[in-house]
Amino acid sequence: MSHASTSKRRGFPNPIAWIGRSTIGLLSEVGKLTNFAVRIMAAAFSPSWNFAQIWKQVIAIGFYSLPVVGLSAVFIGAALALNVYTGGNRFGAEQFVPNIVALGITRELGATITGLMLAGRVSAGIAAEIGAMKVTEQIDALKTLSANPFRYLYAPRFLAACLTLPILVFVSDIIGIMGGWLVSVFGLDFDSTTYLRNTVDFLTMEDIVVGLIKAVVFGAVIATMGCYQGSKSKAGATGVGRAATLSMVGAAVLVLAANYMMSTLFVNIGI
């Protein structure tokens, strides 16, 4: 009887103990990630930059991401215009379609969609690349040669992401607005000249700058998560694949969280 009751107790773990272990594990992970991020920023913003590596990463992160960013932006802009028109049609406010599309793309959707797309493409790619280097002991070889992985591997990717994300977001803003223009003019019978004039007159420099500031933060988040999970990768293809998956999920969640916090901040300070 006592053995059966012991087995039964073992089958139902203590929920308080589980919550405690989960909380401690979460805080430990947050501490490790914060320490890693601080070390990356220290290496990225101190002198002696590896411009060859930075340029290589700019091409890999920025230039090769243009097709997916452009396609995502045009469809997001088109879908946003259709939905705004449908909602505005109920209240006779269809004329506000260009205003809302421009505001939604520049302040929110352009930066957020670009960040999420690059969380999948760039963060996972960085994690897989660095994870493969770790399991094949290339990072250990760098340390043996007195080369700092933070300065040689992680900092160039961090800087490249912070530099290229604003450019990609700016391109995404333009393409997204033009996607809304295409649907509005050729599908909803808007006048092209009026649509473009309303967009230009309504947008302010603050709207564009808000999205670009978000882009810099998203770039830092995406590169940091990719490098962090890659540096923790376990041996074997499964370990590298898990690191890529965790980096993508973590970067996407942090991009959304950072977007909300920055949006709240900008609203509170009146930008």
pLDDT for 154-200, tens place per residue?
A: 999 999 999 999 999 999 999 999 999 999 999 888 888 888 898 88
Question: Which pLDDT tens digit goes with each residue over 196-234?
Answer: 898 888 888 998 999 999 999 999 999 999 999 988 888
Least trusted range by pLDDT, from 33-37, 137-141, 148-152, 251-255 = 137-141
Q: Which pLDDT value is given to residue 68?
A: 92
Q: Which pLDDT value is given to residue 2?
A: 47
- Read off the pTM: 0.86
Please state, in angstroms and rounded to a whole number, the distance separating the CA atoms of residues 33 and 178. Answer: 39
Question: Which pLDDT tens digit goes with each residue over 44-101?
Answer: 888 888 888 899 999 999 899 999 999 999 999 999 999 988 887 777 777 888 888 9
The CB density around residue 135, as the number of other CB atoms within 10 Å, is 17
**Is the pLDDT reported for residue 135 higher than 50?**
yes
Lookup result for tokens 């609203």? 267
Q: Which residues contact 190 (CB under 8 A, 6 or more apart)?
A: 97, 98, 184
Helix, coil or strand: residue 254? helix
Closest CA to 153 of 179, 134, 136, 174: 134
What is the pLDDT of the chain when averaged over all its residues? 87
